[in-house]
Amino acid sequence: MFVSSDDCGKYSVCVKTALAKFGIPTYAQFDNATVFTGFSGIDSVGQVIRFCLLLGVPPVFAPRETGFQANVENYNGK
């Protein structure tokens, strides 16, 4: 999912406000969903991660789920 140019302005205002209030975080933790990691495969990088890297914020990903939790997340993602 890509952000439209109309929504981009809204998101940038929100992010600028949050950064001004809280400062730049030391890291950002994410799920392994493709919206964060990218859609095209192992070497792709999503827009959110690119933005973090642009700010110098290292992205940290949760370990991959296995077993029951992975089945629940897979079911919920459909």
Burial of 13 (0-12, 13-18, 19+ CB in 10 A): exposed
Is 56 a member of any domain? Answer: yes
**Alpha-helical runs (H) found in 1-78:** 5-22, 34-37, 47-55, 68-76
Is 65 a member of any domain? Answer: yes
Instruction: Domain of residue 60: give its range.
Output: 24-76
Is 6 a member of any domain? Answer: no
Is 14 a member of any domain? Answer: no
Is 39 a member of any domain? Answer: yes
Q: How many domains does the chain have?
A: 1
Is 30 a member of any domain? Answer: yes
Is 48 a member of any domain? Answer: yes
Is 3 a member of any domain? Answer: no
pLDDT per residue as tens, the chain (78 positions): 455 666 666 777 888 888 899 999 999 888 777 666 666 666 677 778 888 888 899 988 877 666 666 666 666 655
